[in-house]
Amino acid sequence: MTNDLLFIDLQWFSDDAEAEGRTEQPTEHKLQRLKEEGQVPKSQELVGAVVLFLPALLLLFIAPYMLRTCVEMFRFFFTRVTELDPVKDRIIAGIFLNYLARLALPMLAVAVIAALFSNIVQTGLLFTTKPITPDLTKVIPRFGQYFKRIFSVEGAFNFIKSIIKMVIIGGVAFLLIRSEFDKLINLQKAGLWLGLITVASIAIRMLLFCAVLLLVLSIPDFIFQRWRFRERHKMSRQELKEEMKMYEGDPLIRSRIRSRYRDYYRQNIAAAVPRADVVVTNPTHYAIALEYNQENMPGPMVTAKGADEIAAKIRELARENGVPLVENKPVAQALYKETEVGEIIPVTYYTVVAMIFRKVMDINELRRKKKPSAKQSSAKTASSGKASA
């Protein structure tokens, strides 16, 4: 019986996303949709540490001003305590609010700015009313989810974080009081002003040290909250497929479009490759057809390009139509990545492409020289046939 009570099922620590079969990372579309709904990863520890640190830092500098203002306020009211009637003299409320604003507004303004800054740093500029929209389903208590949240990775992390925060605050308080213990003991012999200054100095230093240490603690908490947010909003494979269909279209339709585009592109290269002056190859992966006409082109133009199957088709058309094939791997790869069909090649490749065209001219010259010899040989064959006849 005792063992059953002490037994804790490890399923309590399992992730809800994994339990529901959600194993894929959330897409950018889902993250954007969650952001529009006000659901963003955010560390409250970072907000609290910044809100504590900046007002404490301001208090360190304006403490003398605030002390003088307090003394002035007490002097004003105590010296006129028998002269003014709070019920009849409405000016008393205005004077009190004036002193209160001088004391509280600087700290309040810095605290608000610190809260806004720490939130904007984490989530960016975001304004939505969805998180504060009334939802009656959240009013119904769900004890199962409550216990499951306690016995989870997030619950364990928050428990350890709370222990560390208590250790930080308690340790800082103990060390500061211990270092000023002799002064605190002797305060019973000191005046009111000296005692007030001593206690205020210890309190301000305690606030600053705790704020800095909590700010350091908020960094791993911020990283954990971002990781936990993505884990909590993982997607199943079915959800991923549905989102792809929604934003990118049905895969079957996209494959048909690609097939039609491929057919259309092949029809174009069937007309463009025969007009080309040269085809630069990788030699097997890429093929780029170049055409250059000095009269109406400022430079060599890409008339067709392709990879793998389309590259093989371009090479086949080039051989059938007598277009020279020149192998140059760097140029072929660069032109395939940096240019589109119908564009003039970049100026940086003019020199190397000019060398390729020079090589093509030499190939064409050799072809022209071979053609007469072929005609002469055929004429000799014909004459010998007539003589034999």
Three-state DSSP class for residue 24: strand
* CA-CA-CA-CA dihedral for 117, 122, 124, 130, to nearest 10: -100
CA 339/CA 316 separation, integer angstroms = 22
Strand intervals (E) in 31-99 = none
pLDDT (tens digit per residue) in 124-160: 776 666 656 666 666 555 555 555 566 677 778 888 8
Q: Where are the domains of the chain?
A: 40-129+141-232, 272-369
pTM: 0.49
DSSP-assigned letter for residue 343? P
Dist. CA 340–CA 318, nearest whole Å: 19
CB-based contacts of 371, cutoff 8 Å, min separation 6: none
pLDDT, tens only, 77-116? 888 777 776 666 677 778 888 888 888 898 899 989 988 8
Tally the C-alpha atoms within 13 A of residue 88's C-alpha that lie toward its C-beta.
3
Instruction: Say which residue, 379 or 25, is predicted with more confidence.
Output: 25
Look at residue 284 and give its three-state secondary structure: coil
CATH class for the domain made up of 272-369 = alpha beta
Q: pLDDT, tens digit, for every residue of 280-334? A: 888 778 888 888 887 777 888 888 888 888 888 888 888 888 888 888 888 888 8
